[in-house]
Structure 1
Amino acid sequence: MRIWKNPNFYLIVGLLVMAVLFYSSYQTYEQQSQIGLLENVLKGEPFKDKLMNVRFMYAGSEVSIQAKGYFSFVEFFIRKAAHFMTYFLLGGTFCLALFYKLKNIWWSAFFALLAAAGYAGMDEFHQMLTGGRTPLFQDVMLDAAGALTAILLVIVVTSIKKARR
C-alpha cells in the first residue's frame, strides 16, 4: 500500500497538526508576536500606500493601518492565514484518513468537518485559559472555513478520480 493511501499517514499528520496547534495556543501573544521580525524584514513599509485604504471590522475591532499600525496590520493577516492554513491541513488530513477507512466521502467529510470545527472551539477555549490571549468566535469560524475548504477540495478530487475510472 502506498503511503498516500494509508489512513494512518493522514491520521498521524492530523495529530501532529493538533499538537502544533495546542502548543501554539499555550503561548501568550507576546511569545508569538512577529512584530520585531516584520520590522526588520519589511523596512520601509512596502505596499503601505496601497494598504492604507484597507479597513474592516473583525471581532468588533477595526483592522486598518490607522488603527493598528503597519506591522500589527501585516501580522494580523499572517496570523489569520496561519489559522486558515493549519485547519485546512487538519480538515484535509482527517477527511482523507476517514475516506481511506470508511470508503464513503460524504460521511468522511461530515465527520472531518465536525472534528476540525470542534477542535477549533476547544483551541479557542484553551486560549481563554492562557494569559494574554483573546478567544474569538470569529477565529473558530475562520478555522472551520479552512477545514471546509480542504474537505471540499478532497471531495472534488476524489469525485474526479472516481469519474475517470
Structure 2
Amino acid sequence: MRRRQLLTATAIGAAGIAGCSSDSGGDGTETSTGTPAGTPSGSTNESGDGDLATPEATVRRFYDTLYGNDDIEGANELYHPESQAPPIREANFSDFGAVSAISAAIESTAVISQSDSEAEVHADVAYASPAGSAVQTDWFTLAPSDGEWLVLSWVPESVRNQGTRTPTASN
C-alpha cells in the first residue's frame, strides 16, 4: 500500500533532504499561506513556544525543533501516537556531519485538505547543508490527539522523487 511506503520513507527522508536538486517539482495546485519563513504561525503559550492547535503550526514547530534547535527527540515527540513512521535518528544525518549542519527555512505552507480527523499540509522549505542547497516541497499528514495536531507522516520531496525505487536507510 502506498501510504505504508510513505510512512516507511519518512525517517529516511531526513537523510536525503540536502543532496537534492533545486527543482521544487510543485504541481501548481497548492495555495500558499504567504507566511514568510521565521514568522510565527499560531498562538504562543506561556513558555513562548508556538502551539499545536493547527496543522500548519505543528509543521512549523517540527522544522523549528528539528533544524532550528537540532532537537531530534523533540521532533520525534511531535509524531502522533498512532504514527507508523520510524523515529528520526541521529544516524539519518551522519552523511552531513549532524543535524546541526543542516538549516531549513519554511518559505510557505499550504493546507491541501483538512477534516476533523486528518490534514495534509505541504511546506516549501529552503534547505542548506554541506551537500548543497535547494527549495523543496515536503508533505505532512497530521491528525489530532488530545487537542493538538501531531505528525502521522513526513515525506520530504527527495523521498517522493525517488520514484518506485525502494529507499534504504543508512542505519
Pair member with larger Rg:
1
TM bucket (normalised to shorter chain) is: under 0.3
What TM-score do the two structures reach when normalised by structure 2?
0.25
Tell me the TM-score normalised to structure 1 length. 0.25
The structure carrying a bigger helix percent of its residues is 1
More strand by share: 2
